[in-house]
Structure 1
Amino acid sequence: MIPFFAVFERRRSQARELVVLATLSALAVAGRVAFFFLPQFKPVCAIVVIAGACFGGESGFLVGAVAGFVSNFFFGQGPYTPWQMFCFGIVGFVAGLLFHKGPLKPTRGALCVYGGISTFVLYGGVINLGSLLIMGMPLTPAAIIACYASALPFDLVHAAASVFFLFVLGAPMQQKIERIKTKYGLISP
């Protein structure tokens, strides 16, 4: 994660942009805490995707990593925290590459498709590998298949939640963020 943080630190961020990113991180944390009673049904990846699409990859990574770290003060820190930080962050980073000055337009449909696939493949795929390594399991084909198969229902629910929250919150949040960017003269990196 150090290269992502270093790139963000070197660029000239405006205080107004940092306030918006901190607010998005806090919103992701609040969403994760508010839905604690529904396993894996959380809006974190959706908010991280929106942050990446509106502010770019570095900002998307930062919102995801901060949200993963801070929300674990409520859920408990552990050896999985850096893995969660990286997974949430990489979802936002790739969203920034694809949607912010990238080849895709951040439409509701495109965000929903990306959110579902990235949550399932990027977040779920990497976090499951992290689980294997944390447990000290040997990386045998049988262990890998067992880990990914047992995580499949959770990954599917998490991906469905991302699609749902992007469908409901994507357009309104983008409109508000674009209004804030215009009103306060935030310059995209």
Structure 2
Amino acid sequence: MRGKGKLMIALAIIIVVLYLIMPIVSPEHSRELSRTWSIGILTIGCLTVLGMLFEFEERHTSTKIIALIAMIGTISAVSRVPFATIPSVQPCTFFTICTGLVFGPIAGFMVGAISAAVSNLFLGQGPWTIFQMLGWGLAGLTSGFLRNFFGIGKNIGNSKRNLSLLFLSIYGAVWGYLYGWILNIWHWATYVYPLTWKTFVLTQLASFWFDTMHAIGNVIFILMLAPKTISMLERYKERFEVIIENSPEKRKEK
């Protein structure tokens, strides 16, 4: 990461480390610090999201790619609204994962962030929006690394499709729970007292059935729609990307 994005991510990490080591270094000060957990968690979320926004701005100079990512994010956001009556089931996580697989980690994060910010214009904005942006964004971010390091997504249209879909479905199910846990951290720090490991675990367990619904929804969307969606996004990517003839990517193909 570079510039502003790198600085904001670094600040977020410093705050996280501070909150983690303070109980060990100075228990007395940690009790005072615990009163600021709500503000601290919100600050960490804001810095992380802003850092990724600046990183996207610095990395992507093609207006076509930027417009395409914005369009996918908007489609994802609008698709969430009809599912609002079904607890925790929506296609936003699915769209975010697919985008990360095709366009890379930063683009995946952006679609997740846009999904939360835009859909909440219809469903209600609040401090939770930052953590929804962070949760969906991290799902897209890590899916980009999945493709880069394990090849998941690359085989979605060939003979290894079933195996690739299986791994992708497991990944989607896992993020059904991780997304809920990220939002629960904010809820625990803001509304729960006292802030102890016991109340933390109980807060996480309270959303188990909602997170399970989210996980099941992700698996269904991936099994039904992932192959065609990823293939379509790949075609758009090929149209907008330009590979220089003597580039390392081109020589690798030869």
TM over 0.5: yes
Q: Partners in 2 of 1:77 and 1:24 — Cα distance?
A: 21
Structure with bigger gyration radius: 2
Contact 2:53–2:110 at 8 Å: present in 1 too? Answer: yes
Q: CA separation in 2, counterparts of 1:156 and 1:26?
A: 25
Aligned equivalent of 1:175 = 231
Q: 2 CA distance for matches of 1:186 and 1:124?
A: 38
Q: 1:37 corresponds to which residue?
A: 85
Stretches of structure 1 lacking an aligned partner (at least 5 in a row): none
1:56 aligns with 2:67: no
CA RMSD in angstroms, aligned pairs only: 1.5
Q: Does the 8 Å contact 2:103/2:237 carry over to 1? A: no
Normalised to the residue count of structure 2, the TM-score between the two structures is: 0.69
Give the corresponding residue for 1:112: 169
- Post-superposition shift, 1:102? 2.3
Partners of 2:123 and 2:92 in 1: how far apart? 14
Structural mapping, 1:88-107, within 5 Å: 88-99=136-147, 101-106=148-153, 107=164
Task: Give me the whole-angstrom Cα distance separating, in 2, the residues matched to 1:12 and 1:118.
Answer: 26
**C-alpha separation between the residues in 1 aligned to 2:207 and 2:170?**
21
Q: CA deviation at 1:24?
A: 1.2
Q: Which aligned segments of 4 or more residues in structure 1 are displaced greater than 4 angstroms?
A: none
Instruction: Please state how far the C-alpha of 1:4 moved relative to its aligned partner.
Output: 1.2
Secondary structure of 1:102 counterpart: helix
Which residues of 2 match residues 75-94 of structure 1 at below 5 A? 75-94=123-142
Contact 1:14–1:186 (CA<8 Å) still a contact in 2? no
Judging changes above 3 Å, is the alpha-carbon distance between structure 1 residues 138 and 33 closer, same or farther for their aligned structure 2 residues? same
Question: Could you give the per-residue CA deviations for residues 49-93 of structure 1, whole angstroms, max 9, x where no partner exists?
Answer: 001001000000000011111111111111111111111101100
Contact 1:17 1:186 in 2 (8 A): no
Give, as a single letter, the amino acid of the residue that structure 1 aligns with 2:168.
L
CA distance in 2, matches of 1:13, 1:163: 34
Q: Out of 132-141 and 23-32, give the one that drifted further.
A: 132-141
Aligned-partner SS, 1:144:
helix
Question: Where do 5+ consecutive residues of structure 2 fail to align?
Answer: 1-48, 154-163, 244-254
Percent identity of paired positions between Structure 1 and Structure 2 = 28
Amino acid in the other structure paired with 2:152: K
Match of 2:190 among 113, 134, 150: 134
Equivalent residues of 1:80, 1:134 under 8 A apart: no
Tell me the TM-score normalized by structure 1.
0.91
Superposed displacement of residue 138, structure 1 = 2.8
Q: Is 2:218 the partner of 1:162?
A: yes
Give the direction of change, closer, same or farther, for the CA distance of 1:40–1:12 in structure 2 (3 Å limit): closer
C-alpha displacement of 1:109: 1.8
Aligned equivalents of 2:241, 2:133: Cα separation in 1: 29
Q: Which residue of 1 aligns with 2:45?
A: none
Change beyond 3 A, Cα 1:160–1:13: farther
Residue type matched to 2:141 in 1? F
